[in-house]
Structure 1
Amino acid sequence: MNAPWKHGSVGQRDPFHAFVCDDHSFDLLRAVASEMGWAPEKVNKGGMRNAVQSLSITASPQILFVDMSESGDPLNDINSLAEVCEPGTVVIAAGQVNDVRLYRDLVASGIQDYLLKPFGADQLRDALAQAQAVFLAPRDAGPERPHMTVAVVGTRGGVGASSMATSLAWMLSEKKKRPTALLDLDIHFGTNALAMDLEPGRGLTDAIENPSRIDGLFIERAMVRASDMLAILSAEAPINQPMMTDGGAFYQLLEEFRQAFECSIIDLPRNMLIQHTHLMTDVNVAVVVTELSLAAARDTIRILSWLKSNAPQARILVVANRVHPGAPEISRKDFEQSIERKVDVIVPFDLRIAAQAAKLGKTLAETAKGSKVGAACTAMMDEVLGLAGDEADNPGAKSTARKGDSLLGKIGDFKSMIPSRRKDKATALEG
C-alpha cells in the first residue's frame, strides 16, 4: 500500500526541497544537495510547520526532506503534510525521537525514510540517493487482474472464522504477492489485528462516525500495515459505545478497497451478515467456516440458504475447522448429508500450532507451515482463487442447495437423526 504522494509522474517539478530546524543540518544538506547537482538555496529553515505553509502555495518537489524535531505530534503533522503534497513526492523525515514504533508508523503513513539526528553526510547521501531511485523507478503495474472480494462467515462463535480470514489474507499477500485489504467487522471484539500483534487504531470507528470522510486518502491513513502487501482495518470500540450505522460506511470502504487493492477479505460476523445484506452485493467468494457439530450443521444449512437467496453471485466454499482427529460430534459423512453438499476443506485441530500462533502474534497459516494445518490452509486459498477465477465461465457451480429444497424440511430431516444419536451415546455410557 503506497501513500498518495508516492504515485504520479516526474513532470516539471523541482528535484529537491528541504526544511530543517538547526544550523548543522542546514549546512550539511546544502553541501550534499550541491554534490547531487541540486540548488542549495532550496534548503530552508523552519522544519515541518514551514514545510506545510510553503507547500500549500507552491508546487511540491520530487524529493522532500523535512525535519520533525519541533513537531509535537509527528503522525498528525505527516498527515497535514500529505494534504499539501502533490502526487509523486518522495518524503524523507528526520527527528530526534529514537522509537521503533514511531518509525514503523511513519513508514506506514507513506514516508520513504526516517533519519535519526544527528546524521552524517554518508547517511544523508544514501537516503537521498535511495529516494531518487524510488522516484525515478518505472511505475509499470503489470497486467491488471479483476478485484477479488471474499467474505468469511462463521456459522457459530468459536469456529475460527477470524483465524481463517487472517490466514487467507496473509497467504494471498505473502504467497501470491497480491495487495490485500483485511476488514474486520467485529467492531467491539474483533481479533484480526490482535492475531498479527498489531494495534487496530481508530480508522474503522472514524469511518463509521464520519462516512463522508472515506476516500483514497482516508484509506491510506486509516489502515494499519501488516506488511508491504497487507493492510488491516479493524477496531476495538468501547463496549459501552454502540456503533449506530446503516452500513453505508462499510460499503464505501469496500468501494475504496477495489481501487487500492487486488483482494479484499471481509471477516463478517453472522449478525452483520443479516443486518447489512448489501455487504454481500459484490462478494465473489463466501467462505463458510463451520465445525462438525449438530448446532453448526443447523446454522450452516440456514446460512447457505440465505446466501443462495441474498448473494446468488457468490461462489460458496465450506470449510470445517478445528476437526479433531478422533470422532467428531457428527461424522463428515453425516454432516455433508445434512447440508446436502460436500465440505470443501477440512482443517485439523492442532492445539500446539494454535497456541504457538497466538504466542508469536502470527496467523495460523504462517505458523503452520509444513504441517497438515498449513496444507489445509493452502488448499483453502487455492479453492478460493479457483472459484474467483472461473466465476464468469461457470456461474452455476458450487450451488449451495438443490432446486426445490425446503430449508425447514432440511432442518427437520436432520433433527430426525438426534434421538438415535443420543440413544447410541447412552448405550455406550451404560456399557
Structure 2
Amino acid sequence: MIFSGGVVSAVRALGGMPCPEFLIVDLSDSDDPRADMQSLADVCEPGTVVLALGTLNDVTLYRDLLHAGVHDYLVKPLTAEMLRDAIRTAEEALAYEEEVEDTSPKNDTRQLVCLGVRGGIGTSTMVANIAWMMADQGKKTALLDLDLFFGTSAMQFDLEPGRGLSDALDNPRRVDGLFLERAVVKPHDKLSILGCEAPIGGLSDPAEGALEQLVDALGENFDCVVVDVPRQMLGTHVDVLRSATDIVLLTDYSLTAARDCIRLLAHIKQIAPQADIYVAAGKVGMVPNEVSEQDFENSIERPVDAKIPFDIKTMMTATQAGEVVVANAPGAKLSQAYLDLLRKVTSDDSIGKEKTSWFGKLFSR
C-alpha cells in the first residue's frame, strides 16, 4: 500500500488501520525528524520494521533514529540497488524476529470462543456460567461479550457493562492492565467482564484484525479468556477465531441447526485448525426435536459432547437473584450440565469437586 505525504500522513493513516509488518517512510519534509519518528513509534506495533528515507546526512540523527527503533536510515538520492539492498536486509531482520518468536515459549492462556448455531438457545447464558466456574476455580478470567448492541453478559450478574468494549475496539493496541482495570466490571474478584451497550447504529464496525488483537491483549493479562461471539459476526470477522484454543458450538436438534453446524465446523477447521472443537445441545427438552439425536450426530459426523437441559424454574430463580445458575443453584441438573461441559473442555475432572480430607469425611458423618 502506498500513501502520499510524509511521516505526518503515515501517523494519520496508521491510527486507523492495522499496523504493517514493514514500513518505509520519507522524512524529507520533516522539520523535526526525531519528534516525528517518536509520533510514528506511538502508533506502530512492536516488531514493525521501519525504513526511513531523508535528505539530511547527519550521524547524530542516524543514531537517534536507530535508538528510536528505526531499522535503517537512507540518505537521498537513492539508487535502485541501494533501496533493494536495504529492503532485503530489513526482510532478513523481520524473518529472524519471526523465527525467534516461533521458538519462544507459547502463551498458555486458554482462549475459549463460544458460538450459538442459532439465536435464542442460551449461548450467552452458557458463556456466563462457564466464565464464572473458571473464575471460581481461582483462574483469572475475562469474559468478552462481542454483541456490541444487545450483549447480556453483565446483565446476568445484575451489572451495567459500561463503555469498556467500545473504547477497546477503537484502539486495541492500547489495551493493557491499567486500561482493563478501568474498563471492566467485576462480579467476582477473579472474573472481569468487557462489554458495552452501544447505541444502536452508533458504533462503527471493528477494523480488520482489531478483534484478534483485543483477544490476544486479554490473553496477556488473564489466565482464561471466554469470548461470546454472535454468529453473524463471523461473516466479516473471522479473525476472532484465530487465537482460540477451544471453540464451543451450542446448537439445538433442528434441521436448520444441523445445516449450519456442518457449515460452521467446516469454516472453523479452515480458519482455526489449532482449536479443539466441542458441540453442545442447548435447552434440551424445551420442544420436541426436529431431528433425532442420532441423526443429528450422523449429519455433523461427530458426537454431541454435552446436553444442557431446559430448566425454566432454576433459571428464573437465578435471574431474580442477579446470579448465574452455577452460583445460585450449584446442585441443579442445569448447573451440572455446564460443569460437565467445562470438564470436557479443560480435560479436568476435578473441577467442581470439593477436596475433603479424611478427617473432614469422618466428622461429616
TM-score range, shorter chain: 0.5 to 0.7
Q: Identify if the C-alpha distance between structure 1 residues 187 and 247 changes in structure 2 by more than 3 Å, giving closer, same or farther.
A: farther
Is this contact kept in 1: 2:143–2:227, CA < 8 A? yes
Q: How does 1:325-404 map onto structure 2 within 5 Å? A: 327-386=288-347
Mapped pair 1:219 → 2:180? yes
1:157: which partner in 2? 119
364-373 or 254-263, which deviates more: 364-373
Q: Identify if the C-alpha distance between structure 1 residues 318 and 256 changes in structure 2 by more than 3 Å, giving closer, same or farther.
A: same
SS of residue paired to 1:260: coil
2:138: which partner in 1? 177
1:208: which partner in 2? 169
Residues in 1 aligned to 2:317 and 2:289: alpha-carbon distance in whole angstroms? 24
Is this contact kept in 1: 2:247–2:278, CA < 8 A? yes
SS of residue paired to 2:220: helix
Q: Identify if the C-alpha distance between structure 1 residues 296 and 272 changes in structure 2 by more than 3 Å, giving closer, same or farther.
A: same
Q: Identify if the C-alpha distance between structure 1 residues 326 and 237 changes in structure 2 by more than 3 Å, giving closer, same or farther.
A: closer
1:244: which partner in 2? 205
Residues in 2 aligned to 1:368 and 1:322: alpha-carbon distance in whole angstroms? 17
Tell me the C-alpha RMSD between the 2 structures.
Answer: 1.9
Residues in 2 aligned to 1:346 and 1:319: alpha-carbon distance in whole angstroms? 6
Distance apart, 1:208 and its partner CA: 2.1
2:275: which partner in 1? 314
Residues in 2 aligned to 1:331 and 1:364: alpha-carbon distance in whole angstroms? 28
**What amino acid is the match of 1:157?**
G
Residues in 2 aligned to 1:261 and 1:364: alpha-carbon distance in whole angstroms? 23
Is this contact kept in 1: 2:212–2:242, CA < 8 A? no
Structure 1's unaligned 5+ residue stretches are 1-143, 388-431
Is this contact kept in 2: 1:289–1:321, CA < 8 A? yes
Residues in 2 aligned to 1:173 and 1:247: alpha-carbon distance in whole angstroms? 30
2:110 to 148, 160, 166: 148
SS of residue paired to 1:192: coil
Distance apart, 1:246 and its partner CA: 1.4
Q: Identify if the C-alpha distance between structure 1 residues 243 and 357 changes in structure 2 by more than 3 Å, giving closer, same or farther.
A: farther
Alignment TM-score, normalising by the size of structure 2: 0.63
Distance apart, 1:247 and its partner CA: 4.3
**What amino acid is the match of 2:274?**
Q
Deviation per CA, 1:364-411: give whole Å up to 9, x if none: 322341121111111011011029xxxxxxxxxxxxxxxxxxxxxxxx
SS of residue paired to 1:346: strand
378-387 or 242-251, which deviates more: 242-251
Residues in 2 aligned to 1:301 and 1:167: alpha-carbon distance in whole angstroms? 26
Mapped pair 1:168 → 2:130? yes
Mapped pair 1:303 → 2:253? no
Distance apart, 1:330 and its partner CA: 2.1
Distance apart, 1:181 and its partner CA: 0.3
2:217 to 249, 252, 256: 256
Q: Identify if the C-alpha distance between structure 1 residues 332 and 284 changes in structure 2 by more than 3 Å, giving closer, same or farther.
A: same
195-204 or 217-226, which deviates more: 217-226
What is the number of residues matched between the two proteins?
Answer: 243
2:233: which partner in 1? 272
**What amino acid is the match of 1:266?**
V
**What amino acid is the match of 2:183?**
A
Distance apart, 1:240 and its partner CA: 3.1
Residues in 1 aligned to 2:297 and 2:329: alpha-carbon distance in whole angstroms? 26
Q: Identify if the C-alpha distance between structure 1 residues 223 and 345 changes in structure 2 by more than 3 Å, giving closer, same or farther.
A: same
Residues in 2 aligned to 1:311 and 1:145: alpha-carbon distance in whole angstroms? 17
Is this contact kept in 2: 1:152–1:267, CA < 8 A? yes
**What amino acid is the match of 1:281?**
R
Residues in 1 aligned to 2:278 and 2:173: alpha-carbon distance in whole angstroms? 34
Residues in 1 aligned to 2:148 and 2:301: alpha-carbon distance in whole angstroms? 33
Identity of aligned residues (%): 42
SS of residue paired to 1:318: strand
Deviation per CA, 1:59-111: give whole Å up to 9, x if none: xxxxxxxxxxxxxxxxxxxxxxxxxxxxxxxxxxxxxxxxxxxxxxxxxxxxx
Is this contact kept in 2: 1:145–1:262, CA < 8 A? no
Structure 2's unaligned 5+ residue stretches are 1-105, 349-365
**What amino acid is the match of 1:246?**
A
Distance apart, 1:326 and its partner CA: 7.0
Deviation per CA, 1:132-177: give whole Å up to 9, x if none: xxxxxxxxxxxx9921000000001111111111111000111x21
Distance apart, 1:310 and its partner CA: 1.0
Distance apart, 1:274 and its partner CA: 2.7
**What amino acid is the match of 1:296?**
A
Is this contact kept in 1: 2:211–2:239, CA < 8 A? no
1:292: which partner in 2? 253
Distance apart, 1:294 and its partner CA: 1.3
Residues in 1 aligned to 2:261 and 2:154: alpha-carbon distance in whole angstroms? 27
**What amino acid is the match of 1:188?**
F
